[in-house]
Amino acid sequence: MAFRDDVRRIRAIVWKDLTTERRSKAGFNSVASLGVTILVLFGFALGPDAQALRDAAAGALWLAVLFAGVLAFNRSYQVELDGGALEALLLYPGARWAIFAGKLIANLIFVTAMLVIVVAVGIVLFQVRVPEQWPTLLGIMMLGVVGIVALGTFYAAMSSRSRAREVLLPLLLYPMLIPVLLASMEATKAFLNGDLLNASGAWVQMLSLFDVIFLVATFLAFEYVIEV
Amino acid sequence: MNLQVRAGEMVGLLGHNGCGKSTFMRIVATLLKASAGDCFVYGSNVKTEGDAVRHHVGFFSHVPGLYDDLSARENLAFAATMLGFPEADIDAALERVGLTHVTNERVRGFSAGMQRRLSLARLILQRPRLLLLDEPYNNLDVAGIALMNGFIRELNAAGGAAVVVLHDLVPAQGVIDRTVTIKEGRVVVPTADDLRHDGASPQAITLPAGAAGIS
């Protein structure tokens, strides 16, 4: 019964976060624009060499997702801080992990929507050949997104009460995300290059392991970081 | 600081700015952890049984705690879902606080007074057993003050307790049963009721216990 109540609360938080995000038009537009801008800048920096662009595509794409994602994570708690809504949210009875789960799912949907735009632009800009097994590539990218969003949502909660949260979040998040980023980039790169040596498998396994560790750790620790 | 509040009682907390009134309220509401001492709400320890305490407590803070991009109705629907209460009561709550004409409008366009009324509607939905009101009359007009006092009286009549932080006693006249003055985190010039703490340790705060509210 209690679990069903928590599921109801999770759904309510997801609905609330996505509704407020959809209505405040600046949110998604600015985050997606930043992701695209980063890709364009990488494109300029790499020059017109088609092979160089293709080789750098995976790295540029994940960095664009990461930098734009940080904006999204900060925003997801900014909504709670405006008008003291976080206080009201913490006063509702029920398990605190349900709040984290709701925020995590909403951020997953948000970042995935942003990823679709960034990937579409990246394919055109970096002249990437879409592999035949693109659903597998999509799976790899989702694994990477889960890792980034889990840690991003967690550290955004941790830094949300700090006045310097815009600076604090990247400082806390980026070093922790190195393993996820590395595994995501390498798995994506190997797959885009045809994965002739079957190198992506090992990176995918590592990515899956990081996801599991980060999800378990963040769910367990959230109650302590959100309390004052 | 020793304080016991009985069920059906409304206690006014007075004191200078920064004396600890809001800190006290936030500790009772489980928003802050006390560094020492104990606090019980209807027998549940706020330190160790936070979730049980949150089932009983309704906190009306100086900030509205609303989502600007949701409508009045959506804000209450979200609260009802989080609290596990039926959404069917939302219209009645909005009617009671006089916001039926802006039911589907976003909170972003509401005045401070309207936001306070909507926060009150959320408390009406919740009907807590212990009401914690931190400067509840701020930004409320005369009708809003009457609405707030009516809700407190109704809750007290039903056996609920209330603790209210006040700077001005006038709006709460006729509703407050007694006042407690806090200075530097301690109750000063305590009444006989404040001194009688039923054998609790000198560090204990008691809000409605058993038949009553904070210990």
> How much is the pLDDT for A1?
56
> Which domains, ranges and CATH numbers included, belong to chain B?
10-66+128-206 (3.40.50.300)
Two tokens, residue B211: 């038949």
> How much is the pLDDT for B191?
52
Mark yes or no for CB contact A93/B61 under 8 Å.
Answer: no
Percentage of the residues of chain B whose pLDDT score is greater than 70: 87
Span B77-95, average pLDDT:
91
Q: What is the pTM of this model?
A: 0.87
CB contacts, 8 Å: B31 with chain A: 87, 90-91, 228
Interface with chain B: mutation pick from A92, A97, A224, A228, highest number of B CBs within 10 Å: A92
What is the rounded distance in angstroms from the CA atom of residue B83 to the CA atom of residue A85? 15
What's the DSSP call for residue B199? T
Question: A103 in the Ramachandran plot: left (φ > 0), alpha (ψ -120 to 50) or beta?
Answer: alpha
* A189 contacts: CB under 8 Å, gap ≥ 6: A55, A57, A58, A59
pLDDT over 70 at B36, yes or no: yes
> How much is the pLDDT for B197?
44
Report the residue of chain A nearest B126, measured CA to CA: A92
A24 min Cα distance to partner chain B (Å)? 7
> How much is the pLDDT for B168?
78
> How much is the pLDDT for B209?
47
- List, for residues B112-148, the tens digit of each pLDDT value: 999 999 999 999 999 899 999 998 888 888 998 999 9
Least confident of B17-21, B47-51, B141-145: B17-21
pLDDT over 70 at B95, yes or no: yes
A2 min Cα distance to partner chain B (Å)? 11
B32 min Cα distance to partner chain A (Å)? 6
Span B8-25, average pLDDT:
88
* Closest to B126 (Cα-Cα) out of B76, B62, B63, B64: B76
CB contacts, 8 Å: B56 with chain A: none
Q: What is the mean pLDDT of chain B?
A: 84
Of A83, A93, A95, the CB nearest to B68: A83
pLDDT over 70 at B201, yes or no: no
> How much is the pLDDT for A176?
94
Report the residue of chain B nearest A21, measured CA to CA: B69
Chain B from 36 to 65: CB within 8 A of any A CB: 51, 54-55, 57, 59, 61, 63-65
Interface with chain A: mutation pick from B22, B31, B78, highest number of A CBs within 10 Å: B78
> How much is the pLDDT for B89?
87
pLDDT over 50 at B199, yes or no: no
The structural domain count of chain A equals 1
Q: What is the 3-state secondary structure (H, E, C) of chain A?
A: CHHHHHHHHHHHHHHHHHHHHHHCCHHHHHHHHHHHHHHHHHHHHHCCCHHHHHHHHHHHHHHHHHHHHHHHHHHHHHHHHHHHHHHHHHHCCCCCHHHHHHHHHHHHHHHHHHHHHHHHHHHHHCCCCCCCCHHHHHHHHHHHHHHHHHHHHHHHHHHCCCCCHHHHHHHHHHHHHHHHHHHHHHHHHHHHCCCCCCCHHHHHHHHHHHHHHHHHHHHHHHHHHHCC
Mark yes or no for CB contact A19/B69 under 8 Å.
Answer: yes
> How much is the pLDDT for B211?
39
Q: How many CB atoms lie within 10 A of CB B115?
A: 22
- List, for residues B164-175, the tens digit of each pLDDT value: 998 877 888 788
Of B29, B54, B67, the CB nearest to A85: B67
First-last CA distance in chain B: 11
CB contacts, 8 Å: A95 with chain B: 51
A153 min Cα distance to partner chain B (Å)? 19
B6 neighbors B211 (Cβ within 8 angstroms): yes
- Give the domain range for residue A52: 2-226
What is the rounded distance in angstroms from the CA atom of residue A115 to the CA atom of residue A122? 10
Mark yes or no for CB contact A12/B70 under 8 Å.
Answer: no
pLDDT tens digit at each of 228 positions of chain A:
588 899 999 999 999 999 999 888 778 888 999 999 999 999 889 888 888 888 899 999 999 999 999 999 998 998 898 888 999 999 999 899 999 999 999 999 999 999 999 999 999 998 888 888 888 889 999 999 999 999 999 999 999 888 888 889 999 999 999 999 999 999 998 888 876 666 778 889 999 999 999 999 999 999 888 876
Of A82, A92, A228, the CB nearest to B82: A92
